[in-house]
Amino acid sequence: MGMNVIDITKLYTESNYCTYDPGFISTASCKSSITYIDDNQGILMHRRYDIRDLATSCSFLEVCYLLLNGSLPTQKQNENFAKEVSDHTILTEQLCNLLITSI
């Protein structure tokens, strides 16, 4: 039947503790529609795309869009997504002043 496992789904909400598992030695895997890993074959895929193809053919934001939405963006979708991300990266003058004075 396999290894014995412990369900820690409610660990944090019931105890205010988290788990720490360096190297994921004791972490079980699960099926994912986002990522596929076959370490024996050296395969890493995101949303059915080989990671090497994504790394050489896509921008960071295109891969982000893929992971969030399940498909690579069209040019228009990419432009809209880039603007949406950019709109959330603007620093206020107060924050800039705070960062400058803390240096």
User: Residue 65's domain spans which residues?
Assistant: 11-101
Residue 3 within a domain? no
pLDDT in tens, 24-46: 888 877 788 999 998 889 999 99
39 to each of 6, 36, 42, 43, 56, how far by Cα in Å?
25, 10, 5, 6, 21
pLDDT, position 3:
74
Query: What pLDDT score was predicted for residue 15?
Result: 95
State the pTM of this model.
0.66
Q: Is residue 49 part of a domain?
A: yes
Question: Sheet holding 49-50: strands in order across?
Answer: 35-38, 43-46, 49-50
Mutual orientation of helices 75-87 and 60-69 as an angle, nearest 10°? Answer: 100
Section 55-84 average pLDDT:
98
Examine residue 68 and state whether it is found in any structural domain, yes or no.
yes
Indicate the number of domains in the chain: 1
Instruction: Tell me if 89 is assigned to some domain.
Output: yes
Q: Pick the closest to residue 85 from 56, 66, 55, 65 (CA basis).
A: 65
CATH of the domain at 65: 1.10.580.10
Per-residue pLDDT, 26: 82
User: Does residue 2 lie within any of the structural domains?
Assistant: no
Q: Is 32 inside any structural domain?
A: yes
Model confidence at 2, pLDDT cuts 50, 70, 90, reads low
